Amino acid sequence: MAERARVAILISGRGSNMAALIYAARADDCPFEIALVTGDKPDAPGLSLAEAEGIDALRMDAKKVGASYWNELQNALDAAAIDTIALAGFMRIIPAEFVARWTGRMVNIHPSLLPDHRGLNTHESVLAAGDRVTGATVHIVSEAVDSGAILGQVSVAVLPGDTADTLATRVLIAEHQLYPRILSQFVARERDPEWIVAKVGTLALALPEARFKTSHGAPGWKVGSPSNDKFFAIMWLRHHGEESVAVLVKCGGQDEMAALIEADPALYFRPAYYGPSDWIGIRLDRPGVDWDHVAEWLQRSWSLCAPPRLTKLLRVADAF
Ligand code: GRF
């Protein structure tokens, strides 16, 4: 099976959602592995469970560490080569800078049907509102609390006579089903060729006079006027014995290509047929793709293929 996404779980308490994710990751076909559990409270009970299950658990103390806590956390995530963060009862407001650093790669579970009942005391708020149905939501973490894009939800009936505790217990059962399923879909989506093509397309079409065109049936992007245009990016969708989903871009020549492949053979390859004309393959169906790096490659390839009138314009713009 393909490389699994490396997930870090952040907790502040008992960690029952953490446990659900750990046990889901034991399945052979689970697309993620739990590479780290940590949080802001060194005595969070969930950390002991993670340890007992043989997961790396880091006892961080946000209170003690103070201002450098977020940097230390980032260092721990880097050291464990984490692709995705899953918050599971992590009770700390996350600074905007940290959220920005993990844009689109940090998810959370909240015990209501968002956008209803954001924030704390969710079940009390559901009961006070007289709702007949509540539930749980997994969402992307954005700067505003409990407001990022919704990835999945499950509904749970509110029973007559429910208290905040009875409701919490039942919603928690639903949470444990929902979180592993949605996290699996979320990390797997980044390996889905359709998703990858759409992502490359967004970056490619952001460049001047770029347009979509197929090349021998594969999605590609050209630059220039319709009568005089050139491909600057072509998708490689598991062609010619090369299993990867990749984008082909123009590089500076055969020597550069050989050096790049030698330096990072998991990322780069020399595509059949295209390689001799300086197209290099960049694999995209792997966890933790650096999309800024892909955007830089697209821009470079665009510059090598665009007509002089466009590259001149860009150089003038760069000078300012
Ligand atoms: C869960 O209800 C979760 O939705 C919320 O905090 C609670 C954490 O519980 N964000 P646990 O620590 O996972 O048991």
- List, for residues 145-182, the tens digit of each pLDDT value: 888 899 999 999 999 999 999 999 999 999 999 999 99
Report the candidate in 236, 234, 227, 191 with the shortest Cα–Cα distance to residue 209. Answer: 227
CA of 101 to the centre of ligand 1 (A): 24
Segment (H or E) for 36: strand 32-39
Which pLDDT does position 309 carry in this prediction? 84
**pTM for the model:** 0.80
CA distance 281 to 68: 39
Phi, psi for residue 299 in degrees, rounded to 5: -65, -40
Q: What share of the chain is helix, strand, coil (3-state, %, to 5)?
A: 40, 25, 35
Ligand 1, atom 6, residue with closest C-alpha: 89
φ, ψ of residue 150 in degrees (nearest 5): -80, 130
User: Which pLDDT value is given to residue 289?
Assistant: 86
Q: Which of 5, 2, 1 is nearest to 289 (CA)?
A: 5
Q: What is the DSSP string of 172-220?
A: HHHHHHHHHHHHHHHHHHTT-HHHHHHHHHHHHHTSTTEEEEEETTEEE
Look at residue 45 in the predicted model and tell me its pLDDT.
97
Contact present, 214 and 289 (Cβ < 8 Å): no
300 phi/psi in degrees, rounded to 5: -65, -45
**Pocket lined around ligand 1, Cβ cut-off 6 Å:** 11, 13-18, 88-89, 109-111, 172, 175
Distance CA 182, CA 5 (A): 14
Residue 287: which pLDDT band, with cuts at 50, 70 and 90?
A: confident
Residue 22 — very low, low, confident or very high, per pLDDT cuts 50/70/90?
very high
Which ligand 1 atom is at minimum distance from the Cα of 175?
4
Question: Smallest Cα–Cα separation from 155: which of 171, 168, 169, 139?
Answer: 171
If pLDDT is split at 50, 70 and 90, which confidence band does 320 have? low
Give the Cα separation of 36 and 76 in Å (integer): 9
Contacts of 135 (CB under 8 A, 6+ apart): 112, 113, 153, 154, 155, 156, 171, 174
Question: Which DSSP category does 222 fall into?
Answer: E
Which of the residues are catalytic? 110
Looking at residue 15, its pLDDT comes to 97
Nearest atom of ligand 1 to the alpha carbon of 17: 13
pLDDT of residue 313: 67
Res. 95 pLDDT band, cuts 50 70 90: very high
- Residue 228: pLDDT above 90? no
